[in-house]
Structure 1
Amino acid sequence: MPDTVPAYRRDLYSRAAILDPHPHYARLRDLGPVVRLPRRGYALPRYVECRAVLRDHDTFVSGAGVALNPVTNRMSRNTTLGSDGTDHRRRRTLLAHRMLPRALRTIQEAVQRRAAETVEAALRAGTVDGVALAAALPLSIVPDLVGWPRDGREHLLDWAAATFDALGPLNGRGLRTAGANLAMLRYTRALVRDRALLPGSAGADVLLAADAGEISPAEATALMIDYLAPSLDTTIGALSAALHLFATHPGQWAALRANPGLVPNAVNEAIRYESPIRGFTRTVRRPAEIAGTPLPAGAKVLVLYASANRDPREWDDPDTFDIHRDASRQLGFGYGRHGCAGQALARLEAGAVLTALAERVTRIELAGEPEWLRNNVIRRHARLPLRLVP
């Protein structure tokens, strides 16, 4: 790699950078389209290059792992996230068809009903934790779809967060999740071994595929984690971010209440503004070039979705939250073959909650100081005190 490639020597995974990442992204974008991260490969902070790499599946591959550390990459070989080509298609097809928009129509009424019940309960409480409000629907919908037993759900949020922490570098934060990740792996292996998954669920399909020899037992375990963890934290991150943004932008909330047809726009804009996933890595399969910068085979490239979604080269006034903006091309859920398989479900859940709130709540107000979750990859609140005014 030529010495002319600018280097960013501050740690993107320090406590300060995790709690307030956007100044770091701005500095990275100012340095150039390709930036060297000492000891961690290279980063793409701008929109055009991120989208191009996510589209080029043959050159920038996921099969060598999408984490910033070799340990997690080795452990991810049986996952959809960490695979390419035939393996990726085979694994994704097994579960993703249940999360396509046409398949989700069968649960749309149930999701809307649960969203209304969740909002009614929050209104009775008056003051609520926005993270709990955002988590209520995913925690009641996603485990049922995946087939997780009802008596094994108390650790799901902690386990999901640990899964994402491990996809960052081998820093202290990632290492501290080893116990939680091991516990989730052991529990999921037992579910597969004992066939303890809900009948008719996606997990039951996984067992049938294993019985037919279409996938291995190791793949079956990995697929259960692969679809459960991302389908929780991405939705919770997107919805809690939206709640925080509407609490701090009352004019935008008034606009949504006046025109509920803006709900899909609002979901996309919240994801653009505070992307639930900071970014994943790709490995350069063969010598390549990005924006005139040559990259050697084997190089690691960090695709920074969250930075791309605030790139002023792509977005007018990107640091402004505006639900009238067409943010449909945001990269918060990835793009291309590896785009989040559960994004239609996330939009359905987030949209249902925002619609129920718009029908019943005149104002969303902060009732205390929000706290961001300290996580290597996930960007979401850990605590979000809110007051809902009927």
Structure 2
Amino acid sequence: MNQTATVDHFPVLDLDPFSTEFLQDPYPFHEQLREAGPVVWLSKYRVWAMARYEQVHATLKDWETYCSSAGGGLANFNKEEPWRPPSIILEADPPLHNRTRSVLQRILTRTAIEKLRAGFELEAEKLVESVLARGHIDGVMDLAEVFPLRVFPDAVGLTKEGRENLLPYANMTFNAFGPRNELFEAAFAEAETVSSWIMEQCKRESLTADGLGAQVFAAADAGEVTEKEAGMLVRSLLTAGLDTTVHGITSALYSFACFPQQWQKLREQPKMLRPAFEEVVRFQSPVQTFFRTTTREVQVGETLLQKDQKVLLFLAAANRDPRKWDNPDTFDITRRAIGHVGFGAGIHVCVGQMVARLEAESVLTALLRKVDRLELVGEPQRRLNNTLRGLSSLPLLLHKA
């Protein structure tokens, strides 16, 4: 464990939050970061870090002091060129952000998403029946990846061909929020092929007339956004609507396999499903980190942060901060997990969170009806990513109800 040094009245840690050691088991490091202080200097990358809930939540809500337009990752767009045109949702601030986000918010309202429920639930039933017949499955490859890839591209209006590019593209995007390390290089090995397919799917003529993508272009026809911006908003849907959902479903399967009594509790009270998924997101935090950039001098505790400084927000550490949560390292579906920052907070809170919740609820509802127990029958394998926390393999035995 790295030692904490104090320089000029602020704590300094010489740890690498993008190292294999950290990404495999972040929890001891999260505790060290939280206990070091409300804001910590990470000497390796020369950035500030916040891991306590109070500071992380406040920073996410204060877009005027901690902007997103200089990049949601380690790269500072005020000083260097981004690897692709910045997201006009995730990496934009008002007034641009207000204009573009309003389009997606209207398309992805709870009422609008509810129209997808029947189709999603039907597909979930079919998939669960299929995997249950086999018994032994890989929770990632046979369920958590298959379901979103089956329903979400249809909802957006993508063509059937080439959908295998969606997960590698999301993997690239979230790795790019970190440094140019081995994970970044491996993710970008096939960047040209993957990116060109994605860009093609973001064009009006590539989308079906009845999907979410077509609704984005209808907003362009109405003059709310430009044609180019509409394509970038479709790209945002593809980036945010898949990989995080895969990890969310994986996290639920893993949590309930590790804590079977919680699964039994949920089977007895299926109406607890929605708060149970919020606890999954708090407990596992599929999205671990995001960066912000200071727009002015700002005092945090006893430390003065200068303008144009990168700040790394540890969402996962905040979600297990004992200052906020009782027994934070316990998975408890009866917990009131509202207020977690697993989907972010403030004006940049995840615009696709309703879709993620619907997909997870559809799969878990089907499982609750048919599966008495999810048994872990092998060692899960981590899928390392600079931003996301998930698994590449989850060996399960499904016990029929």
Q: Structures share a fold, TM > 0.5?
A: yes
- Stretch deviating more after TM superposition (326-335 or 284-293): 284-293
Deviations 1:67-114 (A, max 9, x none): 112467463434310000021122212223222211112121222222
> Among residues 313, 319, 322, which one is paired with 1:312 in the alignment?
322
Q: Which letter maps to 1:18?
A: L
- Larger mean Cα displacement after TM superposition, 149-158 or 314-323: 149-158
CA distance 1:284–1:333, shift in 2 (3 Å): same
Distance 1:260 1:370 in 2: 27
For the residues of structure 1 that align with 2:85 and 2:30, how far apart are their CA atoms?
A: 27
Matched, 1:56 2:62: yes
Q: How far did 1:129 drift?
A: 1.1
Report the counterpart of residue 35 of structure 1 in structure 2: 40
Select the residue among 289, 297, 305 that pairs with 1:287.
297
Taking the TM superposition and a 5 Å limit, the aligned residue runs for 1:11-50 are 11-38=16-43, 39-50=45-56
- What is aligned with 2:3? none
Is 2:94 the counterpart of 1:88? no
Task: Say if 2:241 and 2:352, in contact at 8 Å, map to a contact too.
Answer: yes
- Say if 1:388 and 1:350 are closer, same or farther in 2 by CA, change over 3 A: same
- Normalised to the residue count of structure 2, the TM-score between the two structures is 0.92
Shift of 1:141: 2.1
- Distance verdict in 2 for CA 1:92–1:46, change over 3 Å: same
Distance 1:180 1:88, change over 3 A: farther
Partner Cα separation in structure 2 for residue 306 and residue 17 of structure 1: 13
| Alignment-derived partner of residue 348 in structure 2 | 338
Offset of 1:121 from its aligned partner? 1.0
Are the counterparts in 2 of residues 279 and 302 from structure 1 also a CA contact under 8 Å? Answer: yes
User: Structure 1 residues 182, 225: CA separation in 2 closer, same or farther (over 3 Å shift)?
Assistant: farther
Structure 1 pair 124–72 and aligned structure 2 pair: CA distance change class (3 A)? farther
| CA displacement 1:244-302 (0-9 Å, x = unmatched) | 11111111111111111111121011111110111111111111122342211101111
SS in 2 for 1:280: strand
Deviations 1:168-221 (A, max 9, x none): 122221133334444333223333457211112222233445566654555344
Give the 4+ runs in structure 1 shifted more than 6 A. Answer: none
- 1:7 matched residue in structure 2: 12
Describe the SS at the equivalent of 1:7: strand
SS at match of 2:233: helix
Cα distance, 1:146 vs structure 2 = 2.2
| Aligned-partner Cα distance in 1 for 2:156–2:41 | 39
Q: Contact conserved, 2:87 with 2:236, CA < 8 A, in 1? A: no
Tell me which protein shows more helix as a share of its residues. 1
In 1, Cα distance between equivalents of 2:386 and 2:46: 14
Q: 1:325 maps to which residue?
A: 335
- The 1:104/1:208 distance shift into structure 2, 3 A limit, reads closer
Q: Is the 8 A contact 1:311 1:318 kept in 2?
A: yes
Q: Aligned equivalents of 1:259 and 1:194: distance in 2?
A: 44
Question: SS state of the match for residue 291, structure 2?
Answer: strand
Between 171-180 and 55-64, the greater mean CA deviation after superposition: 171-180
**Pairs within 5 Å for 1:204-283:** 204-210=214-220, 214-216=224-226, 218-283=228-293
Deviations 1:33-85 (A, max 9, x none): 10111224111100011110111111111011111124674634343100000
TM-score scaled by length of structure 1: 0.94
In 1, distance between residues paired with 2:194 and 2:229?
A: 15
Percent identical: 39
Equivalent AA in structure 2 for residue 52 of structure 1 = A
Match of 2:108 among 96, 99, 103: 99
Letter in 2 for 1:86: P
Within 2, Cα distance between the matches of 1:140 and 1:30? 43
Which residue identity lines up with residue 260 of structure 2 in the other structure? Answer: P
In structure 2, the residue matched to 1:149 is: 159
The answer (yes or no) to whether the contact 2:204–2:214 under 8 Å persists in 1 is no
- State whether structure 2 residue 163 is matched by structure 1 residue 158: no
Pairing partner for 1:167 from 177, 181, 200: 177
Assess if the C-alpha contact under 8 Å between 1:188 and 1:224 holds in 2: no
Matched AA of 1:151 = E
- Greater mean deviation of Cα atoms: 69-78 or 282-291: 69-78
Verify the 8 A CA contact 1:28 1:45 in the aligned structure 2. Answer: yes
Q: Quick check: 1:37–1:43 contact (8 Å CA) kept in 2?
A: yes
Residue identity in the other structure for 1:358: L
Classify the secondary structure of the residue corresponding to 2:216. helix
1:188 to 179, 183, 198: 198
Unmatched 5+ residue regions in structure 2? 1-5
